[in-house]
Structure 1
Amino acid sequence: MNKNGNFEIEEVYLNDNKKINSIEKFLYKNDLKLGEEIIKYLTFSVEGEIVATGAIAEGGIIKCVAIDPYYRGEGIVLKLFTELTHLCFDLGFKDLFVYTKPENERIFKDCGCFKIESSSDVILMENSKDLLSNYCNDLKDISKEIKGKKIGSVVLNADPFTLGHQFLIESAASLCDWLHVFVVKEDSAFFSYEDRFNLVKKGISHLDNVTLYEGSRYIISKATFPSYFLKSEKILDNNYAELDLKIFRHYIAPSLNITNRFVGTEPKSPITNKYNQEMKYWFEEAKMDYPKIKVSIIERKTINGEPISASRVRELFKNNEFDKLKLYVPKTTYNFLLENKKN
């Protein structure tokens, strides 16, 4: 704890229940709630009372920023943002995302942040004006030789790659002149990102009109769509879905001339199912200054009437039920799982 002007600045760890409770009450008064995957909170206090707070989430995401109305306009936002930025750098995060309310856009712009996208309740900004544009330019360079009127896309986690994923990609590729496939890059799945990506690469190697991409912070990540990684909650925050889908329609799709997005039916995942519904709205119905994207839902492949799912594969793998498991995955995935068989 140290002094900075009239404010007492403190880093609050998640195991400090008393102080976390005080932060929760302060956020509630400012129409906010405790964030997901927070590493630590930062508070500004005056005479023991919290007057401002912010938090750092996994991946260098600044969120839960709230300031007592009495102290707004006192330069406190810049002070708070500076302290949060220094804390991010100390934690090893340099490329930062900021979540705040839309009415705070100008304030954070003055702090050196740049808008990516917004919903009615949330605006997403980052501390660089070049990262997203550079990423999109890289995509354009990759795809500049690709020809065709119907350019498709698939985004998948593949934890691990199953016959269901393979069927989705094969079906989508057969309906397109070219297909772009993205593998969600967050390394918080059961299998590592490197293994997941390689299994997808091997499982679609027979297709000659597909380009495989690493995921990014701009496509279903903990920054744009954290609800996806909180499966136990079974709740989709519409703000996050809206941001993620707008980013895809605004930036990713134009960079690759994407006209279609393909998804599988989701009978067992409420979050993904709701996300797919939101996708149809934001890609096909919402009026925006960017071309519409056709959403095609492909019936999921089944085994004995049961939809193939990665969760079922993980269950069989954990239980060493390899005779059943081989029915659900391509040979390349099966060999990988066999090599990593648990004793």
Structure 2
Amino acid sequence: MDLQPALSLRLTRVAGHTQRVERITEFLQNFHIQPDADIEYFAEAFVGNRLAGCAGLAGNIIKCVVTDLPWRGINLTARLLSVLEGFALRNRISPLFLCTRPENIGQFRQCGFWPLARDGDRAVLMENNPVGLQHYCRQLSQYRQPGEKIAAIVMNANPFTLGHQFLAGLAARQCDWLHLFLVGEEGSFFSYADRLTMVSRGMAHLPNVTVHGGSPYIISRATFPAYFLKETPVVDQAWCAIDLILFRDDIAPALGITHRYIGSEPFCPTTRRYNETMHTLLAGKVTVKEISRIASHDGTAVSASEVRRLLAGRHYDQLRDKVPPTTFSYLEAQHIAQPVSP
């Protein structure tokens, strides 16, 4: 009679466990996988002292799910995911996402994950909540507005610059309504709360704009990780596609969005590739309007990265030339050191 091997499972925190992580990295490299730098935990499965499989967790994203050949077919993947799901449940991390190849859909369906968006035969994004996306779109539909031209902009606003304000103002003037989505992930120079405040104040003068808070379904670490892992040398086209497919097929219909406005991207290759993909994938369903960036008085294109550099260098006079008064006032109150009276 064949007996299943005795397995042991454990959860390893990446920080402070260098030797364990090195062993996991070597294991993954045998399968030509390099773990992302943002993975915080690994579930590990052992047969004796031999590592038989692992699965990583970065925030609410499951990555690097691999089982060694001798132990495939014994439901090891489900057991690894169960370890991560138990940890997520205890720490109120929800929902969980993973991206895999389409041929693995059946395997992960058995583990309680449902497909959200698929890029041909390259990749599929899955979630452990079968109705999460539908629930989000139902919430969005409450903000639907009448009109023939309904625009959308997605921005990180790190921080909110004159360039952001110009693009949003143009969209609001040219369309009946503008839905402005703010990237919800933390990890930027400015916190999400800071960015939301600056955007809300900078758009308050426009009556036909709705500012939407962050969502895991639009430019997040789940849908478009390359945006947040800028050190990655090659931008995976599949990530761009998955994020845009979700926007095209689910988010845009929920709000009746007909146009998406983007600024030209002379600096960041990741964003530039994303914009190029947008023109292709949204064609025929959502009109993409790419607008040239405005320049400041010195002739350089306004960018959030330049604003951050000026803020760090305390070049406040130059900073005024690149951000709206509402942003400058907020930076002045929250981030610019005030002189101390003698």
Amino acid corresponding to residue 51 of structure 2 in structure 1 = I
Give me the whole-angstrom Cα distance separating, in 2, the residues matched to 1:136 and 1:31: 37
Shift of 1:12: 3.0
CA distance in 1, matches of 2:87, 2:205: 47
- 1:322 is aligned to 2:316: yes
The reply to whether residue 298 of structure 1 matches residue 291 of structure 2 is yes
1:109-133 CA distances to partner (integer Å, 9 max, x unpaired)? Answer: 1222211112333322111112211
1:226 and 2:225 correspond: yes
Looking at structure 1, the residues matched to 188 and 64 of structure 2 have their Cα atoms a distance apart, in angstroms, of: 25
> After the TM superposition, which parts of structure 1 deviate over 4 Å for at least 4 consecutive aligned residues?
none
Q: Deviations over 1:70-97 (max 9, x none)?
A: 3222122222221221122234313211
- Residue by residue over 1:7-50, the C-alpha shift from the partner in whole angstroms, topping out at 9 and shown as x without a partner, is 12233333434433332233233343212410111111223222
- CA 1:215–1:18 in structure 2 vs 1: closer, same or farther (change >3 Å)? same
Distance in structure 2 (CA, Å) of the matches to 1:321 and 1:229:
27
Alignment of 1:1-343 (within 5 A): 6-14=6-14, 15-58=16-59, 60-119=60-119, 120-143=121-144, 146-233=145-232, 235-284=234-283, 292-303=285-296, 304-340=298-334, 341-342=336-337
Contact persistence 1:62–1:98 (CA under 8 A): yes
CA distance, structure 1, for counterparts of residue 26 and residue 186 of structure 2 = 32
Distance in 2 between residues matched to 1:294 and 1:215, nearest whole Å: 23
Paired AA for residue 23 in structure 2: S
Secondary structure class of the residue paired with 1:306: coil
SS at match of 1:115: strand
Structure 2 CA distance for aligned equivalents of residues 249 and 45 of structure 1: 43
8 Å CA contact 1:55–1:64 kept in 2: the answer is yes
Note if contact 1:118-1:243 (Cα within 8 Å) is conserved in structure 2. yes
Contact kept in structure 2, 1:65 and 1:100, CA below 8 Å: no
The 3-state SS of whatever aligns with 1:180 is strand
CA contact (8 A) 2:163 2:303 kept: yes
Paired residue total? 331
Partner amino acid, structure 2, of 1:98: L
Gaps of 5+ in 1: 285-290
Is the 1:235–1:270 Cα contact (8 Å) retained in structure 2? no
Gaps of 5+ in 2: none
SS of the residue corresponding to residue 272 of structure 1 reads helix
Distance 1:184 1:98, change over 3 A: same
**Bigger mean CA deviation after superposition, 222-231 or 152-161:** 222-231
C-alpha distance in 1 between matches for 2:100 and 2:231: 25
CA distance in 2, matches of 1:123, 1:27: 21
Cα RMSD after superposing both structures: 1.8
TM (norm. structure 2) is 0.91
Q: Which amino acid aligns with 1:185?
A: G
* Structure 1 position 273, deviation (Å): 0.8
**Amino acid in structure 1 at the alignment position of 2:178:** L
- Give the aligned residue type for 2:126: M
**Same amino acid, percent of matched pairs:** 37
- State the Cα deviation string for residues 285-336 of structure 1 (Å, max 9, x = none): xxxxxx6211111010101210001111111112221111111111111111
Q: Which amino acid aligns with 2:129?
A: S
> For the Cα contact (< 8 Å) 1:172–1:262, is it kept in 2?
yes
| TM-score calculated relative to the size of structure 1 | 0.91
**Partner Cα separation in structure 1 for residue 236 and residue 216 of structure 2:** 18
Conserved in 2, the CA contact under 8 Å of 1:64 and 1:99? no
